[in-house]
């Protein structure tokens, strides 16, 4: 099977995900069973071997970028 499990900051938030789409407001996901939702986060990585998609909260991403700019 080619479905993935989606994690937001290391917490499992969805299983059997078959579609991901980055949007201005986050990442839209859809499961094999037709459930759809928008996750307020950004894509951090995809592990194809383990069928995992890793997302980070948008605010965490902004804080990290701001810290680097100050650094």
pLDDT for residue 49: 96
Burial class (CB in 10 A: 0-12, 13-18, 19+), 55: buried
**28-70 residue pLDDT tens:** 999 999 999 999 999 999 999 999 999 999 765 445 454 545 5
For the domain that residue 44 is a member of, what is the CATH number? Answer: 2.30.30
pLDDT for residue 2: 86
Integer Cα distance of 55 and 61 in angstroms: 10
Whole-prediction pTM value? 0.78
Q: Residue 37, SS3? A: strand
Residue span of the structural domain in which 46 resides = 4-70
Give the phi and the psi of residue 40 in degrees, each rounded to 5: -80, 90
Integer Cα distance of 43 and 63 in angstroms: 15
pLDDT for residue 61: 47
Number of domains in the chain: 1
């Amino acid at each position: 099977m080619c479905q993935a499990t989606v994690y937001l900051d290391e917490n499992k938030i969805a299983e059997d995900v078959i579609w991901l789409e980055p949007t201005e407001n986050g990442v839209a996901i859809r499961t094999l069973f037709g459930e759809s939702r928008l996750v307020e986060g950004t894509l951090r990585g995809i592990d194809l071997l383990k069928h995992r998609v890793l997302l980070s909260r948008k605010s965490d991403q902004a804080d990290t970028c701001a810290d680097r700019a100050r650094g």
